[in-house]
Chains A and B, each alone.
Chain A
Amino acid sequence: MCGIVGVFYKGDGAVGPVGQVMSDMCDQLFRRGPDSAGVALYGAPVDGGLVVRVDLDRPDLDTAEGEVIAAADEVTSVKDAARSSRSLRLIVLDDAEGKLADVIEERVLGARVFSVGRAMEIVKDLGMACDINARYDLGRFTGTHGIGHTRMATESRVDIAHSHPFWARPFPDICVVHNGQITNYHKLRRRLEQKGHRFATENDSEVIAVYIADKLEAGETLDSALRASIGDLDGTFAYLISTADGIGLARDQFATKPLLYAEDDEMVVLASEEISIRAVFPDPTLVPRELQAKEVRWWLR
């Protein structure tokens, strides 16, 4: 059991308090996932650069920060760096060869790159969503959309790297949150590895992110990638996939994992349970809808 949430502000240039909304919605689902929580927030795209989020599993955070900046400077140029708790946020010029994350992790002990993108920033940690909000100061984050997760670990270990959201490494701006189990994980992972993709964790949900990103890279639409996933992914799932342009979702053929959404003219919110939607949409006339088995849906800018 896990909780997944998402928010998407409709229309060109529409933004909202994504950080606070994701935190409030995750808080309502803490019973579905007390192990860890995480969010992927999409702010204003960096002009002529990329935003990178690096987790530093080190007691000497200042030294580690310096080492990461030095490593990043070898592949690109670091324009800005800021840190809240152990999450280091870099603005870099580019990542032409998609090697930035690998180089940082190879050079710096305890550094893990959670996200690279023009807009996407992934922050995740052990414990409750409200604590993570406070620890990483997410409340002030405004943006176009975001997804979040509260985790009850079943298939892989409880640590920060195995928490959601999972970045579809090395594809910028694509990540996933998932509730369920992917039972053909090893087969899918092998197939994707044969195509040259690599995985950062042992978590089954990571395969969904890479699977979708692989299809998008090949030129498929998000709609067709989502529809293909219903047949290709075996197991139980309700997942949200997020790209630079918006959010997509799919639910398995047995409708084993819950997922609802509610929308008005301005925004769409998605969650495993209505209680989470009500944290953002208290208006009783707005009725959330539960997705059917095999249903896919997306909201793109």
Chain B
Amino acid sequence: MNDLLSVEHVTRIFALGGLLGRGQFAAVDDVSFSLKSAHPEIFAIIGESGSGKTTLARMVLNTLAPSKGLIRFLGDDISRFRGRRDRLQFMQKVQPIFQNPYEAFNPLKRVDRYLFASAYYFMERRSRDAREAAADEALRKVGLSLAEVKGRFPHELSGGQLQRASIARALISSPALIVADEPVSMVDASLRMSIVNLFKTLRDELKVSIIYITHDLATAYYISDRVLIMQKGKVVETGPARQVLSDPQRPYTILLRESILSPDDVDKAQPGVAARKDKRFANE
């Protein structure tokens, strides 16, 4: 088996409404893709709000079961990981990074606690020194050190630092796959690049594959190797990132591509976004 992760015709249906007039809503509809273990890559999943990106990520992380289809990790069906040992083993290999680091960390707990807990459970580092060493090693990979983070509460770190700390936490167990759900959308433009560059380093030096979920096509173009574009739960277009984003084929991809604001638009005689006469508003 040379697939790190293979997602095969996965569908997730949510039931809507109460007892009467129950409706069904497919958040993710027949999505397939796979990541090879030999070549670590950054795989971007792009789509607007409500396109099923996060639902797909939760299924890959095994926190939500697919209604139909199969997700295999290193050849094993992940829905069979039921016991504590299996789950811990799986979590060791697949780690999440969330959108807003201020929400991901409990504001009343010190940040280092999360690092130590990860070292304790995933790496069996039972002694205090071993845990601190593991935390420090991971923090150094993201350009921080334990001295900067130890004993600090989330509000004492800047958004960029905290997001790095959450990436360090994910790195403690030396995962093979990181699922990053909009990791830079809450981070300032000036710090965004530091996080994005960090993902590149993780891929090139630590050989970690990354599923990068975003709606920001500009950073996706900058770092990802392949992209998958989703609309209303369905895959619209997939392929090598540069090719898909520079020469989009499907109407939805073209719409997305046109929606990106470019800093160069300032040259237009009349600055400002051109109002589109489109059908989106009419539907609402």
The yes or no verdict on A and B being binding partners is no
